[in-house]
Amino acid sequence: WNLAFAEASTKKLRCHDQACDFSCESNEERIDHFDKTHCDRYKTWIVNRRFNLPPGTRCPYCTHCVKDVFALCQHLKLEHPMKMHSPISMYSCSSCNRRFNRLHLIYQHWHESGCEGNVIVDQPEIGSFLPPRAVIEAASELITGPRGKKGFQEILQHSKNVEMMR
């Protein structure tokens, strides 16, 4: 029972907004975040297409292309839930180039600073987001595995090219 209680007490609550990666441990904290972040100004950002991403923007962890922050957040929640809380700063504000590791921190930055920029998502080189061992040892799984998505063949070819250069 104590273990179940401990797990339940540390359960993360997510923001209800589809373009937000905020999570916390208490409902009060989540409500406070929502009231401060997703106010009228935030709704204006949506109408003004501030959350659109440049054409060809990919997920920072795979080759999946996304057109806006909403699609990116949904993809991250479904495909890379453990990586959403990465300490790596992979997002930046296009106005001031300030870097962030979470999307909700950019929104907070825009509220506090008045920056008028958009979200920029770092684009890793093909293959850089998979550990080399995973590519080499499980190459057949990358092509025929459950994901089976276009792009993994490109990753495999890149890793073979890197190995040949060594």
Q: Indicate the burial class of 24 (C-beta count within 10 angstroms; 0-12, 13-18, 19 or more).
A: middle
Q: Look up residue 143 and give its two tokens.
A: 């092509």
* Total-model pTM: 0.65
Q: What is the pLDDT of residues 72-90, one digit of tens each?
A: 999 998 999 888 778 888 8
CB 52 within 8 A of CB 68: yes
Rounded to whole angstroms, the Cα distance separating 78 from 147 reads 13
Query: What residue spans define the domains of the chain?
Result: 2-121, 132-165
Question: What is the structure's pLDDT at 148?
Answer: 46
Q: What is the pLDDT of residues 88-145, one digit of tens each?
A: 888 999 999 999 999 999 999 999 998 999 999 987 655 554 443 333 344 444 444 4
Q: Is the pLDDT of residue 55 over 50?
A: yes
Q: Give the other-Cβ count within 10 Å of 93's Cβ.
A: 20
Rounded to whole angstroms, the Cα distance separating 24 from 157 reads 40
Structure letter (DSSP) for residue 101: S
Averaged pLDDT for residues 59-80: 92
Name which of 42, 32, 48, 25 is nearest 103 in CA terms. 42
